[in-house]
Amino acid sequence: MTSTHASDITRLTAHLHALQHVTRALTDATTTSDVSRVVFDVAFSVLDACEAGFALQRGDTLEFHGGVNTPDVVRQSNHTLPLKSPLPIADASRIGQAVYLETLQAQIDAYPKHETYLRDRGIQATTAVPFASLGVRGALVLCFTSKQTFDVTTRAFLEALAMQIGAAVARAELIAAERSARSAAEQHASRLRAVVEASTSFVWLSGADGQSDEVAAFWSDLTGQTREEGAGWGWLNAVHERDRQRVQEAWTQAFTTRTRYDLTFGVRAKGGEERFVSVRGVPRFEDGQVVEWTGSFDDVTERVKVEAQLREREARLALLLEHAPAAIAMFDQEMRYLAVSNRFRSDFRLPHDLVGRFHYDVFPDTRDRWLDFNARALAGEELSCDEDAFERTNGSVDFVRWTLAPWRAATGEVGGVILFAEVITEAVESRRRDAYLLALEERLRAAPSGGDAVQAALEHLGVQLQASLCVLMDVQPDGETGVIEREWRRVSIPSVLGRHRLADYGEVRARLVSDGHTVVVNDVEADVRTAKTSVVGAYEAIGVRASLDVPLMRGGTLRALVSLASSEPRTWRGSEIDLARETLERVWQAAERSRVEDALRASESRLRLATDAAQTGTWDFDLVTNTLRWDERAKALFGLPADAEVTYTDTFLAGLHPDDRAATDAAVEAALDPCGSGECDLEYRAIGLQDGVERWIGARGRAFFEGGRAVRLIGTVIDLSERKRVEAQLREMNETLERRVRERTQALERSNAELERFAYIASHDLQEPIRTVTSFSGLLEQRYDASLDERGRLYLKMLRQGASRMKTLVDDLLAFSRLKGDAAPLKPVDLNLPLSEALARLERRLAETEAHVTCDTLPTVLGDGPGLSQVFQNLIGNAVKFVRPGVTPEVHVGVAQESTSWHVTVADNGVGIEEAYLERIFELFQRLHPKHEFEGTGLGLGICRMVVERHGGRIWAESTIGVGSVFHFTLPVRSPEA
């Protein structure tokens, strides 16, 4: 026989002895604790295990009975754990299959979460063997501090041991159940006797019909009814009328269906007092028939009153809590909502039906963290947090200040917890925003150049918003492309420096940012503007899933764009968008300031060259530090040496001539006004502070602004003394010349007045001979027409036509002379009236030509009614005179308001005017057609121009040959005072 065989026999013999020992020991085990002791004895004494135990499956949990073998005593541990726990004993019990782990590594591979425990405890091997007996399921677990070899013999022994333990536990539970049932019955009988003896209730028995002399006596004592009055349904008369029907229906149903009843109702007691009674009744059956009723009466008046008071108090409390201005929620010990304030619902965006719901069903994501908080509060501790992040279901984050405290019942015991919460997101984000902007300003100030400032800001913003990419695009004048010269990015994101089209990442995006809209894309693959488009490929090329584009508009034009991107989908919060917008504004200001400073340095360099050549002095006033700097020439103009110190008040204002001091100081203040032009151009006299010489000085300056306030004023000065001396001489010569011009002008005005008077008188005197010729030529035609031959009639016709033309010419001259004479004052005139007068004068001609005249609704203007009527008459008359053969004249008078004037048009469909003559037609006596084609004097349009210009307007024409002409003239809008 080999040594191996001998060892196997020895081990088998030991196992058999152990099973015999366990069998004998378990025979005497009547409780689960007895079974535990036997298991620990064989595990630690016989099998040399370091830990042992068994678990009983109770639904979805395991009831674990375990022990640890220590040098001095076995430490026991009884607790429950979920059936799905990642443990060998749970797996063996759940799937009914043994688990054998012979080495530490095998245990770690199977249960990696328990590596630390295994190493700390020195456990090298573990086995878990399931058992099942008489409805009892579970598993045995053994742990060893040395490696084990669970061969066939050992496994058979362990499985037999597990079955012995399962059978013993099943037997112990049956014994325990039998004892419990017997004990419960004895206790119930004992308690029933005690209750009946100690109870204040009236206990009664009645026959199967429900009638009882005992009940009748009790009812009579309570209500004062006699037996006769309470017979049948008469006892219902003592029941309060609000409860009467309910009581009758309940008793009838119980008696008919042979079921128990339990009622509380009001009765009218002796003396008229209302009392409340609680009545219970239970039928007893024999052979399926009711043989008697057993029940009780209780006077519960005080209890009902107390309950009513409690309900009223609870209603008040609930009302107070619901309308409290704070966010408050009250829970019971199981963390179910008892009461909730409206503010709590609104702040946390919760439904109305919260009462009775489990807190962790409402906020499932907070369970793991708040289990500890709630347990501590239920233990009597008060907890609070000044700033707690709370993530909502849409991914946004709010910040909450809360206090969690226990509330106590009337007994003094903790009845649950109450939560006081306040959403402080706005305050937290404001504080963080201020800190961020302060740090941003420090980085911008520390940047050596404008480009470095942009780079620092992009990094600051990208890190703050946890982005993957942050760039600034300078949009080009074409509005379609932009240049990215600076970027901040994570290592995983490729560079995007260079020129790009705004539409590279979507036409919709380009259109929105061009209109000044912020574009938010939380997930490029889910956003309807980008999903299933070529834009997804553009984003994928740079590893981006979410983006934020914030535009910078100046004067309605897109100037720059800050873009942030994330390699993962994310929700861009409103506060983050505001932060990006504020950063862009400040970066742009910093860049603008840098460009201004660069331009200023270049300008100063050119200025120094120019001033040296032009002998011009320079000055620079730093308004932030209140420092004034002058060059040598500026100091010399104030009579100061080159090394003199200068200030605005003690040097500049003190050196000004007293008569010029106030005006000069006011001009400087106006230049520093952010709402002004920022420029000053002035002349003043200075009296040398050391040499006393008076000099004329010319000064020009420009202010520079930051953040809405002037920070610097720079400029030049030049000595104007010699120029002023020459100007004085020229002024004297000009005054002499102007005096002579006034004398000549007065002489010309007298001559023009005499000529106008002569023209009026002459044209007026010509009316008489014209009337004579016209009158006698008419008489000749009437009396001697029959005596004249054709030649005579032709001569007579020519005579009358010449007289008519002469009359028209004289009338136009009279009109022209009146216009040149004293002008009537302008007053409010409804333009519809002059137009109507003109149409009335032209009525015959309009009828002859069948002309069609239309007009817009004309406004009221400041004007001369007769003069404006003459304008309409001349323009419309020309429109119906200069017509194309076979074409019916169409004339339209239109009007439109243009800022401070009314723009009136007279459009026709006549012969048209060549472009070369559009200015000439407004000159006096200018005609474009022979008299035999179109009659006229050539004065009409000249009169129109004179009337319009007298009104402060202007007149012009547009025309196309063969299509028609449009005459335009403007009139001032009537002022509100008119």
In terms of CATH, what superfamily is 199-306? PAS domain (3.30.450.20)
Q: Could you tell me how many residues make up the chain?
A: 978
Q: Which residue has the higher pLDDT, 594 or 61?
A: 61
Give 555 or 852, the one with higher predicted confidence.
852
274 touches 240 (CB < 8 A): yes
Which residues is 474 bridged to in the sheet? 483, 560
Rounded-to-integer distance, Cα 876 and Cα 855, Å = 12
Class of domain 324-428 as given by CATH? alpha beta
What HEC string does 561-603 produce?
EEEEEECCCCCCCHHHHHHHHHHHHHHHHHHHHHHHHHHHHHH
**Predicted pLDDT of residue 872:** 92
Q: Which CATH architecture has domain 447-599?
A: 2-Layer Sandwich (3.30)
Q: What is the pTM of this model?
A: 0.35
Q: What is the pLDDT of residues 344-366, one digit of tens each?
A: 888 888 888 888 899 888 888 77
CA 965 to CA 839: how far, in whole Å?
A: 19
Between strands 546-554 and 964-972, the pairing is unpaired
Where residue 450 falls among pLDDT bands split at 50, 70, 90?
confident
- Could you say which architecture CATH assigns to the domain 823-972? 2-Layer Sandwich (3.30)
Name the residue ranges covered by the structural domains of the chain: 2-178, 199-306, 324-428, 447-599, 823-972
For residue 978, the model assigns a pLDDT of: 43
From first CA to last CA, the distance across the chain in angstroms is 139
CA distance to 514, 868, 880, 935, 964, per residue, from 918 (Å): 45, 21, 18, 19, 13
- Residue 520 belongs to what H/E stretch? strand 519-521
2-178 and 447-599 share one fold: yes
243 backbone dihedrals φ, ψ, rounded to 5° = -105, -5
**CA distances from residue 877 to 849, 905, 908 in whole angstroms, order as listed:** 11, 14, 11
Round to whole Å and give the CA distance between 876 and 834: 12
* Whether pLDDT at 696 is above 70: yes
Alpha helices in 649-789 (DSSP H): 654-655, 661-671, 721-784
pLDDT (average), residues 690-696 = 87
Whether CATH 3.30.70.240 fits 2-178: no
- How many Cβ atoms sit within 10 Å of the Cβ of residue 695? 20
pLDDT surpassing 80 at residue 90: yes
Give residue-wise pLDDT tens across range 380-408: 899 999 888 877 666 667 888 889 999 88
Look at 103-117, 577-591, 915-929 and tell me which has the smallest mean pLDDT.
Answer: 915-929
Q: How far is CA 471 from CA 316, 523, 542, 555, in A?
A: 59, 19, 13, 23
Q: Using CA atoms, how far apart are residues 953 and 456, in angstroms rounded to an integer?
A: 59
State the chain's mean pLDDT as an integer.
81
Q: Check residues 737 and 608 and name the one with the higher pLDDT.
A: 737
Question: Are the C-beta atoms of residues 423 and 399 closer than 8 Å to each other?
Answer: yes
d(C-alpha 26, C-alpha 161), whole Å: 11
822-867 residue pLDDT tens: 456 788 899 999 999 989 988 888 898 899 999 999 999 888 888 8
pLDDT digits (tens, 9 = 90+) for 624-680: 888 889 888 888 888 889 888 888 888 888 888 899 888 888 888 888 888 888 888
